Structure 1
Amino acid sequence: MKILIVEDEALLALELESEVEAGGHRVVGVATDMPEALALVDLEKPDFAFVDIHLRDGPTGVDVGRYVAQRNIPYVFVSGNLKRIPDDFAGALGAIEKPYTMHGLKNALSYIEAVLSGMERLHPPSSLVTKLRR
């Protein structure tokens, strides 16, 4: 899979990129703000995206997510503040809460791969939040 990472924290972006590549996928770009993210979506046409909510230019990740979803690209939020996710998840498959463990990320990525390949599991892993309790 071609994967886009939208994350403004360099260390987290590098860790996520390393884990994605170790899983056999290709990272097509890392964006740190909304303009970079939108440009990479249009240029690279990723198969999937990880999107942080708070980026270098503020809490623009939800808008990035909606843009990604409008182009029929599945994605998940990766955020330390899940309360900022709208009730409709802005079209996301779910969210991974920071700080996350590598094991939790691997489980979420495996689930996402299964969903995107048409396989269905009964329940997403605990590391992937699909409903928010308000």
Structure 2
Amino acid sequence: MKIMIVEDEALLALELEEEVEAAGHSVIGQAMNRKKALAILEGQIPEFAFVDVHLTDGPTGLEVGRHLADRGIPYVFITGNLKRIPEDFVGAIGVIEKPYTMNGLKNALEYIARLLRGDIGLSVPPSIIVAPPAP
């Protein structure tokens, strides 16, 4: 998969990129704020995105999420504050709570990749909180 990372903490973004690439996927871009994320989306279309809620320009990850959802690009939020996620998850597949372990992230990424391939009957790993079904 071609993956975009929207994360304001450089070390976490780097670790996430390493895990994504180790799993056989590619990172098409990293953004630390809303403006950079939208700029990446003007030039490329990721197959999936990881989005932090709070970026360098404030809690604009929700806006990035809405933009991804409007374009039909699946994503998950990564955040240390679950209370910031609206009940509808803004169209996200789910949420990975910080701090996460690399093993937990690996399990979540594998689940997401299989889900996006259309696999059914998957067990949700404990490292991801899936969005409630749409009404």
TM bucket normalised to smaller: over 0.9
* Correspondence list, 1:67-78, <5 A: 67-78=67-78
Separation in 1, partners of 2:87, 2:19 = 29
Shift, 1:68, TM fit:
0.5
CA distance in 1, matches of 2:15, 2:77: 16
Aligned-residue CA RMSD (Å): 1.1
Q: Where does structure 1 lack aligned partners over 5 or more consecutive residues?
A: none
Q: Where does structure 2 lack aligned partners over 5 or more consecutive residues?
A: none
Aligned residue for 1:28?
28
Deviation at 1:121, TM superposition (A): 3.0
Q: Distance in 2 between matches of 1:75 and 1:22?
A: 19
Per the TM alignment, residue 130 of structure 1 is displaced from its structure 2 partner at its CA by 1.6
What amino acid is the match of 1:82? L
CA separation in 1, counterparts of 2:36 and 2:56? 10
TM alignment of 1:1-134, pairs within 5 A: 1-131=1-131
> What TM-score do you get using the length of structure 1 for normalisation?
0.95
SS in 2 for 1:54: coil
Runs of 4+ more than 2 Å apart: none
Please, what TM-score do these two structures have when normalized by structure 2?
A: 0.94
